[in-house]
Structure 1
């Protein structure tokens, strides 16, 4: 197909729907990967707004010989949502929960709803949807249905297929139908069979196919407690019930496209507790699983010796907890309506497994929520640890989802290890023992042909073993590109039924081709994101990276966690926009496209498209703090901006906002006149046109007397001395913060000095103005190094200033002088708490009965000081503080001052504003002056710095 014809087709499709059609180079790269090891660039992406859009897109594709690939969050591990057709992404618009019926325990929703949002909503009525994949916070219900997702608690609660009541779908020709459970012989069922159209054909042919092959289906369906491989023909007929909905669950969008689902929901258990059983032998643990299953646990997780050794090396606290002679552990969770009921089950477990059968030599229990989380952290720590391993070999998911009967699990694990030894490959083994489902991830370097061949050989050997044990090649992660090659081997002659099923629903193979039923081979090793032919162009970075710049880019494996909208603070921009390009992983994907040559480095780097993607970052650091692979996306973005603006030049608004100290000095010459100017709407309109500063943004007033002017006349001699790095905002707008800091330090016996200094230049760093930031860093280092050598510590009241001096300036100038300054710089909270630790902090505060709302700045959290303000204010008797815990406020220093970013910044802060406005508390605190500006803008309430409160309440 020529590019011209494709462009015409995409334009025509765009004219047919209410949603969006994306065909630009950027989005094709962003949708070419998911959380798997593959990369395939689509023709385009449809963002439908309604069912009609989906129907029109599928019909158009069918009429024009194009394929359709349904996509959720792109969190799949098997490449299910990749293909050279039209991707339909439901997450931006079709993400509505349409009905919640508590009395009848069901929910009706669109496929773009995430499980995290659904369960957060349902929890208000003590309900939940039980299947709990590890991606639960961010995976979509459409993806879960397409994949038949499950998780650790499926041993008790089952998989997604067990909760489906009805599905509304679009067939391959664009026809919309509803499928549900029907009683054979009922009028409704007969009506479906008697239709003389595509729907009637499907019902007639699937009924005939399943009825005529009952024995074949029973014989070849894997003996596993859960299975999401192939088509679930075994679920279509049961007890005189015919259920096409269950056939579509787990079909990965190859039979129909789901547009709405009605799902059963369950009651949330009110109590949980955990038992951790310790074994000196793998077989004993395996024998214990079947016995524990009789007690109806809600989860059984297995961790073998290699897994436990990995945890021991990386978690000293957990190492101390684990017995020395431990070889295998089972983590067992029970839930229910009462602790007494659960305690009885744990007692039964101990009596049976430890005392009567003598299988486990010790049991550890946890009833408190915090303690349970700690024990679960043992189980969940492997993948984050493995993702951080240095070297060319990376954990590779390709035989990571086998499920066998629980009784066969020890045999499978032992023989799996023999296969790994045969190929001299390391793999850590863990998984869901309750359904015999393991998640090993061998360490391979897929940039080498030798390891690609090993991957293929290992997969073949492992799946032959699975076949021998009558297990399934996928318990919960799906087939996709990863396992489709092996389905026929596992299912034998039943594979013919899969082919017939596909042809009944989709004879032209329009829907997600290349998955489950194919006429090709070698899918496992084709279209690898990193293959033997993968090369990079060798980009030199301006910033300092602990590892190579290229390696930092490639650390992102696309898990999709950064698309979470509940359960995390990242990513505030994605939460506001809901677009793939806003997610942190999008930046890594674009950069990988550049260094690998998929994108033209010189041309794309200076393009508007590049700028649009990399503008969508606040440098809040939340993604870096919460990324399980510790990819430093904020730093990669700063590097990208440096390289971009070196070619294009800095826009005026960036230069203007990066010169905050110069502007502060100018505005403070005649502060009253400046403030009058900034309050005049016509003048602000002119200013917006000239500088790009939003006229809607209320700007802080310049003070009549700057902090440094006030401090110049201050005399206070003391033996202990500390150097104060004064933020621009404190000096020019809020001198009361600096005064409070000085009062606190003087009350603790310190003489405060202010060394010669310029702005820390964090804004210039954020905007990629390397020359501007280097100038200020070098100036400050020359001064600050001297005061440190004289024995001074450095304190700052602004979280961004202290973060810059402690961490970010090392990204620019990693010298021994910069490290010396970094090692001796503290945020004021940190410094005061260190004094408390040494019993040197003056704690004589007057009682204060006022209650405060408190917002934690992102850059304070980035320094590990998230709870520091609450701890300090807790020293004031009778004072109460309520943490707002609503994420980033959205201003990001100067980001929210820009005309083209103002609305986005306010949208990001909306939840925070609502929390403040709905509270009956009027007093609001935050440690960051930019956050203060944003909170006052969004709520109209006055906001203060916590240091002011501490200083005001010092007793004489």
Structure 2
């Protein structure tokens, strides 16, 4: 059947919006990544019945389908050439004592506002928190600045409801049969091939499935490749009564790394890094001889931890904040690091989101900085660095004037090979998507990769759900880059 006929069929069968006009197609051809792919059709479902019918048509005519949240992802996970399924209308929200049940389309900003009224919060806090959707956060196992203490989405989720490509509405871990099948696959992993890091958003997280009760975690970080997420039950916590934030300025990055490790020994809720080029664009004027900043927050054992920090630091600058207003202001600076980093880049330079999310064991941080510096030296690039240094997770914005596709591939292969060799992950929180899926097999080894393929075939035997993401048979790292 021709795509024009499929469009008319969907329009007639669905009780929701179906678009294929050029303006809508252009809008859905991009997300927050460096990629662009034109879809054939956009469906905005009102109900699970709309999705079930869309999936039925996709199965019959073998059309790939990509679930989409708020499109805030940086690796092209929400892009595809078939049907885009915009989940924004799945916006139910119900708060219980220690958990909240939310639809995939609920934004983190709305969830935060509702939970705050109850004195609670959902810990994962990506910098795009006000805008990103819960479905998207689950899809790439989002974390954020406070994952150091509270973990990623995968550590804060109790249950997931999703539609399989066959149109079955499933709840995990409640579906005992499927939960057992997933656990049987997870039991076979080669554990030493999984990265030894505190956060990881690459591949399928089979290492987190210790029993059938953990089976829902296979969907966390799956990027829409295993089904259409409908809703989830998330663990929530009481908002801390007090917080204290320190902003430390260093003349040498090595001193910041040393202090970072010191502060891991006390009850830090966040330890963040911002390099000189990014910090120089903050509204707050800082000394020019500073090479970087650390943001260290405490939300428990505050007095004891603060005394330790004041006594044990190698910083030239020590700023201390207790008020909610000051703490919020400085976290806005940190959360806007991507915005400020872009302001440091010359107009004729390009900055693709490709190697921006690697994570290494914290004892390998010096090695990670050395790898980044070596890439700049060899390939004549300028790296802008910030991120979750307490987790060993640094975001690298690679800027260069003549950054050709071949060079991007070469840099990525070299960078990821070194990350993997040092026990790290190619993605700490942003996912694989178009930027990194071709490196997943190298990350996990042949045995684990075959288990990933079994997971995929168990839930999507026709390979219709977001194909070429995580399980990839071709190179996608540069194929659909914008403006190249």
Give the equivalent residue in structure 2 for 1:399: 355
Give the equivalent residue in structure 2 for 1:524: 477
Alpha-carbon distance change, 318 to 383 in structure 1, aligned in 2, over 3 angstroms: same
Give the equivalent residue in structure 2 for 1:342: 302
* Alpha-carbon contact 1:286-1:407 (below 8 Å) kept: no
Q: 1:504 aligns with which of 445, 454, 458?
A: 458
User: Given the alignment of the two structures, is residue 318 of structure 1 paired with residue 285 of structure 2, yes or no?
Assistant: yes
Aligned residues: 482
* Alpha-carbon contact 2:381-2:400 (below 8 Å) kept: yes
Q: 1:122 aligns with which of 95, 105, 115?
A: 115
Residue 437 of structure 1 and its aligned partner are, at CA, apart by 0.7
Residue 111 of structure 1 and its aligned partner are, at CA, apart by 0.5
* Alpha-carbon contact 1:387-1:394 (below 8 Å) kept: no
Instruction: Supply the RMSD in Å over aligned alpha carbons.
Output: 2.0
User: Given the alignment of the two structures, is residue 223 of structure 1 paired with residue 196 of structure 2, yes or no?
Assistant: yes
Give the equivalent residue in structure 1 for 2:375: 419
Q: 2:186 aligns with which of 210, 217, 220?
A: 210
Residue 429 of structure 1 and its aligned partner are, at CA, apart by 1.1
Q: How does 1:806-885 map to 2 (within 5 A)?
A: none
Q: How does 1:67-466 map to 2 (within 5 A)?
A: 67-91=64-88, 93-97=89-93, 99-101=94-96, 103=97, 105-180=98-173, 192-193=176-177, 202-203=178-179, 205-211=181-187, 213-214=188-189, 216=190, 218-237=191-210, 240-303=211-274, 307-312=275-280, 314=281, 317-319=284-286, 322=287, 325-336=289-300, 341-351=301-311, 353-354=312-313, 359-380=314-335, 382-388=337-343, 389-444=345-400, 451-466=404-419
Larger Rg: 1
Q: Distance in 1 between matches of 2:376 and 2:471?
A: 29
SS in 2 for 1:343: helix
Q: Distance in 2 between matches of 1:316 and 1:149?
A: 28
Give the equivalent residue in structure 2 for 1:834: none
The TM-score, its normalising length taken from structure 1, stands at: 0.49
Q: Which ranges in structure 2 are unaligned for 5 or more consecutive residues?
A: none
Q: Distance in 2 between matches of 1:146 and 1:163?
A: 14
Give the equivalent residue in structure 2 for 1:832: none
Residue 209 of structure 1 and its aligned partner are, at CA, apart by 2.0
Q: Distance in 2 between matches of 1:316 and 1:520?
A: 44
SS in 2 for 1:441: strand
Q: Distance in 1 between matches of 2:437 and 2:474?
A: 10
Structure with more contact order per residue of length (Cα contacts < 8 Å, sep ≥ 6)? 2
Q: How does 1:901-940 map to 2 (within 5 A)?
A: none
Q: Which ranges in structure 1 are unaligned for 5 or more consecutive residues?
A: 183-188, 194-201, 532-956
Q: How does 1:611-626 map to 2 (within 5 A)?
A: none
Q: Distance in 1 between matches of 2:356 and 2:277?
A: 20
SS in 1 for 2:454: helix
* Alpha-carbon contact 2:179-2:216 (below 8 Å) kept: no
Q: Distance in 1 between matches of 2:223 and 2:415?
A: 23
Alpha-carbon distance change, 405 to 176 in structure 1, aligned in 2, over 3 angstroms: same
Q: Distance in 2 between matches of 1:374 and 1:173?
A: 47
Q: How does 1:493-642 map to 2 (within 5 A)?
A: 493=446, 494-521=448-475, 523-531=476-484
Residue 317 of structure 1 and its aligned partner are, at CA, apart by 4.2
Residue 424 of structure 1 and its aligned partner are, at CA, apart by 0.4
Alpha-carbon distance change, 310 to 68 in structure 1, aligned in 2, over 3 angstroms: closer
* Alpha-carbon contact 2:127-2:336 (below 8 Å) kept: no
Q: Distance in 2 between matches of 1:414 and 1:203?
A: 43
Residue 378 of structure 1 and its aligned partner are, at CA, apart by 4.8
Residue 280 of structure 1 and its aligned partner are, at CA, apart by 3.9
Residue 71 of structure 1 and its aligned partner are, at CA, apart by 0.1
SS in 2 for 1:439: strand
Once the two structures are superposed, residues 655-711 of structure 1 have per-residue CA deviations (whole angstroms, 9 ceiling, x without a partner) of: xxxxxxxxxxxxxxxxxxxxxxxxxxxxxxxxxxxxxxxxxxxxxxxxxxxxxxxxx
* Alpha-carbon contact 1:289-1:407 (below 8 Å) kept: no
Once the two structures are superposed, residues 123-169 of structure 1 have per-residue CA deviations (whole angstroms, 9 ceiling, x without a partner) of: 11111111111111011001011111110111111111112111111
Give the equivalent residue in structure 2 for 1:865: none
* Alpha-carbon contact 2:124-2:150 (below 8 Å) kept: yes
* Alpha-carbon contact 2:67-2:84 (below 8 Å) kept: yes
Q: 2:51 aligns with which of 41, 51, 54?
A: 54
SS in 2 for 1:167: strand
By percentage of residues, which structure has more helix?
1
* Alpha-carbon contact 1:147-1:251 (below 8 Å) kept: yes
SS in 2 for 1:440: strand
Alpha-carbon distance change, 153 to 259 in structure 1, aligned in 2, over 3 angstroms: same
Q: Distance in 1 between matches of 2:317 and 2:107?
A: 39
Alpha-carbon distance change, 204 to 159 in structure 1, aligned in 2, over 3 angstroms: closer
Residue 37 of structure 1 and its aligned partner are, at CA, apart by 0.8
SS in 2 for 1:318: coil
SS in 2 for 1:271: coil
Give the equivalent residue in structure 2 for 1:15: 12
Q: Distance in 1 between matches of 2:44 and 2:414?
A: 41
Residue 68 of structure 1 and its aligned partner are, at CA, apart by 1.0
Once the two structures are superposed, residues 756-777 of structure 1 have per-residue CA deviations (whole angstroms, 9 ceiling, x without a partner) of: xxxxxxxxxxxxxxxxxxxxxx
Alpha-carbon distance change, 255 to 330 in structure 1, aligned in 2, over 3 angstroms: same
* Alpha-carbon contact 1:54-1:259 (below 8 Å) kept: no
Q: Distance in 2 between matches of 1:444 and 1:82?
A: 25
Q: Distance in 2 between matches of 1:328 and 1:25?
A: 45
